[in-house]
Amino acid sequence: MDFGVWLGFFVASWAISLSPGPGAVYAMSCGLNHGFRRGYVGSIGMIFGMLTALAVTAIGLGALMLASAQAFSLLKWAGVAYLVYLGVKQWRAPAVPLAAVDERHQVASTRDLIVKGWAVNATNPKGYIFMMAVMPQFLDPNRALWPQYLIIGVTLALTDTVVMAGYTGLAAKALGFFRTETQMRMLNRLFGGLFIAAASALATFKRAP
């Protein structure tokens, strides 16, 4: 991949990472519930989920999803169901200010945070559509494709690492201003509602004709 082509993709990757969506909501939810240091683990899972979408597209299953209405619908509704699940869980989360919670008593394991983050991106058909629609513009068919996919994956992982750190840190920073159970309950319901809103938006997403 030529440097000029990579630079164009690098700029595009920032726009993709910064755009609000389920990933941003999940990152902020992790920051809200666990603070930055622990909550950022969830972003690692989302990066794995994004790389999963890239790998699936690279081996051609992304094309199958675009061609098959059933495959697209199955993935879409799996993503909707998962976001609703996260929303309901966040809505019903205990209203305990983070400052009052000792790190030893936090119940979410590192594995849980990573798996949930992975599922947010791995079940989002928008990611596959993006891979199929945008990536070909930056690929040179006259060169080996796997090294180009590797460069794209590393670039997306880099930008997501920075952007999701920002989203997680933003939510974690806000915790200092929310010290009562009532305030935390309101925040839990806000993020729960955002997850469900993301699910509703995903439910209206349609395949390109």
Residues 6+ apart with CB under 8 A from 40: 30, 31, 164, 165, 168
The tokens for 207 are 């395949």
Rounded to 5°, the CA angle 108-176-111 comes to 15
Element (H, E) at 147: helix 145-174
CB 29 within 8 A of CB 171: yes
The tokens for 35 are 């603070």
Nearest CA to 37 out of 190, 175, 179, 194 is that of 175
CB 47 within 8 A of CB 192: no
Q: Could you state, in chain order, the average pLDDT of each consecutive group of 10 residues for the chain (209 residues)?
A: 82 74 83 84 91 84 61 72 77 60 56 90 76 71 81 91 89 69 74 76 64
Q: Looking at residue 141, what DSSP letter applies?
A: T
**Would you state the pLDDT for residue 45?**
92
Q: How many residues does the chain have?
A: 209
Nearest CA to 131 out of 115, 148, 114, 107 is that of 148
